[in-house]
Structures are given as C-alpha cells and as structure tokens.
Structure 1
C-alpha cells in the first residue's frame, strides 16, 4: 500500500513542473497577443512594415519569420542579462542586441534568399526600430525570467505575423489574382476576373488593415481607453 502511495506522489511531483511550464498565465503570454492584445490591431505598433512589405505573401512570410526570430532572441538575451545591465544604459544595450540580431538575420537573407532580401530592402534593417521589439524588451524582458520572456516573444511575434500575412493574402489575391505566385482565379475558371490595382499600393494595405482592426476589435469588444 505504501509503495502505491509513494508511486502516486512521484507521479504528482513529475506532473507539477510540466503544469508550471504550461500554466494558464504562461499560455496567456502566447494567446493574448494573437487576439485580445495584438501588437498591431490593439497596440497599433509595427504599422509601417504592415503597409510596406505586404504586397505578396512570400516576402511577407520571410519578414514575419525575421521579426519572430528577433523578438524571441532579443527577449531571451535581455532577460538573461537583466540583472547585470545598469539601468542608465539599458536602452543602449537593448538597441545593441537588437541591432546585432537584425544584422545577423539580414546577412542570412542575403546569403540564402537574396532576391527576397532585395525586395524587403531597408525594412529588414528597420526591425531595429520596430516598436514591438523594443516595447517587449522594456515592458517584459527586463523584469521577467528567460522562459517567460521567450513565450512573450513568441506571442508578440506570432501576433504581428498573422496580421501582416492576412493583409498580404488579400493584397496578393485581389491585386495579382494569386497566392504565393499560384494563379488562383485562373485555376478556378475565372480567367477574366479583374485585378484591383489599388491592392498593390500602400493605400490598399491601409484599407485592408483598417478592416481587420475593425473586425478584430468588434469581435473582442475592445474599447479605446
């Protein structure tokens, strides 16, 4: 009987760390930025790239991946160093780390996806000044442990990613009649479906983004404070 009790206790002890790793609070670090606290539609951050690099799905996907990598890795690095960074130079340290990561990402793109790197142009470099990245470092990573900071970075990165991918989806579909270069309307027998020239301009991106913000805020009942 005592052996069974001991085995049960061991199982409970083993489950506890796993439950802590995926606690409700930690799950919300990922889920909230996807909807209720989205960095673009609610916090209104990262708007420039959402308007500028979303004319096609492929480069937008690369941009989304780059931002996710930079946010996660910068969050992790700053969180690990938070106790040794002097408060008076914390912004300089944050910028130095983000700049180093962005340069690394930019060099990888130039080495393995040069055409996309040219298409994204200066917007990869501008990740350095992306308010989402710096905002998470200052608001979260400087005061939380590395694991939580990684989750926060993933949440914010994916929250940014799905919005710009949604914008790119509609822009490429209605602007070029394609998705990832695949001719959608031709494939379904609508060869004469007219492309909308407005969708290939930043104005089209602005309109789509505005509609997404309206739908998302209406669904969640968000009210400006």
Structure 2
C-alpha cells in the first residue's frame, strides 16, 4: 500500500477497535461521554505518532533481543509526559479518565504498531501510520460514546476540557422519558461495541465482494 492507502486503512478497513479488536478494555470503559472519548483519542493520537517516529528513528540501532523493552520504555515516557500535561491543563479530564491514561502504556494498539510497522518503515511513513491508527481509534470511541451518552441520558454535552465551567454544547436529543440507562453500564458498552463492530464487518465484506467482482470483470 502507498502512504495514503495505509493511512486510510486505519480509519475503517483496519480500524484498531472494530477491525483489529485492539484496545478494547479502555474503549469499553471510557466511552460513557463524548468528552472522555475525545480526550482519550487525542492522547492516543499523540502517543502513537510520537512513539512511531522515535521507534522508526532508532530501529536500526536497537538490538532485536531488547527491542520490546525499549519500545515500552519509550511509550511509558511519552504517556507520562502527556498525563502530566493533561493533569496540569485539563484536571477535570484527568479525573474523569483516571487510571486509563497511564494504561495507554499497555494499550495493544501502541505496542502493536511499534512492532508491526514503525520498526520496519521510515519516519514519515510511521508518523502517517500513527496518525491514521490514532484517528481510527478516536472515531471508534467517539462513535461509541455518542451512542451511549445520548441513549443513556438523552443529552449531548460537550465542555471545554481546559475549563469545565465553559459549556460548548448542551442539547437534548431524546426526551428523558425515552432514555435507556442500560447504555451507561458495561452491558450497554458491550452491546454498542458489538453492533458497531458488526456494521464495520458487513461493510468490509461488501467492499471485498465488490473488489472481487471488479477483478473478475477485468
């Protein structure tokens, strides 16, 4: 694949959540509100891009025997820096996400892209791969959180992560009498994930069949 195709694959075809099924634990836990999803998505994007770039830059000088510990140290350092920035400038988001920010260190998406892509490709390609996978993860968690928050509360609420007193958007989409509190629970998270993963799977199957038919015509 060329750079654009590789970038685009991370959004849907190879979406880390709905296609590769990576990072599921944090996805199910933090998708109660859109604010949480956007904050976590931004953190994952930054860690993915920076870790891919650094690992790609040092890939030729790191011995194979110790490459995984080296990758983990790099990822852990980046996560700690980002956690400190969030704690300093967006304390409400830090409180809301809690332990799931430091757990980015063991997120399968981060280490998986480091091992499968960044350790074998150049800096530019690795940065683009990190951006594509990060955006794919962000789209996935935002979609899940939007469905869960609206169905559970009937309201879409967005606040400034740097000033929780500043409300950007607060609109009721479903009357309170028709909300489904189940979607604010772990069961609701699993149901939402299953439905969206099934839709992505159906889309991929349709796209593969269409590509196969086009190949037969040629």
Pairwise TM-score range, normalised by the shorter structure: 0.7 to 0.9
Once the two structures are superposed, what CA deviation does each residue of 1:79-98 show, in whole Å capped at 9, x if it has no partner?
A: 00111111111011100000
Aligned to 2:185: 201
1: CA distance, partners of 2:107 / 2:48: 10
Give the aligned partner of residue 66 of structure 1: 43
> Which structure has more strand as a fraction of its residues?
2
Number of the residue aligned with 1:121? 98
Residue 31 of structure 1: CA displacement?
A: 0.3
Residue 41 of structure 1 deviates from its aligned partner by 1.1
1:111 to 73, 76, 88: 88
**Aligned-pair distance for 1:184?**
1.8
CA distance in 2, matches of 1:72, 1:26: 15
Measured in 2, the distance between the counterparts of 1:50 and 1:174 equals 17
Say how many residue pairs are matched.
Answer: 196
SS at match of 1:180: strand
Matched, 1:75 2:47: no
Query: Aligned-residue CA RMSD in angstroms?
Result: 1.5
Q: Deviations over 1:131-186 (max 9, x none)?
A: 0000000001011100000011011111111011000001110111111251323x
Cα 1:194–1:143, aligned 2, differ >3 Å: closer, same or farther?
same
Larger Rg: 1
Mapped partners of 1:192, 1:87: distance in 2 = 57
Q: Does 1:183 align with 2:167?
A: no
Partner of residue 216, structure 1: 200
Under a length normalisation based on structure 2, what TM-score does the superposition of the two structures give?
0.86
Residue correspondence of structure 1 range 1-225 to structure 2 within 5 A:
25-181=2-158, 182-185=170-173, 191-221=175-205
Change in Cα spacing, 1:142 to 1:120, as seen in structure 2 (3 Å) is same
Aligned counterparts of 1:69 and 1:158: Cα–Cα separation in 2: 10
Contact 2:38 2:142 in 1 (8 A): yes
What's the counterpart of residue 211 of structure 2?
none
State how far apart, in whole Å, the 1-side matches of 2:72 and 2:115 are: 11
Name the TM-score, length of structure 1 as normaliser.
0.84
Question: What displacement does 1:192 show?
Answer: 4.4
Q: CA deviation at 1:115?
A: 1.3
Cα distance change, pair 165–192 in 1 and its aligned pair in 2 (3 A): closer
- Match of 1:179, SS state, is strand
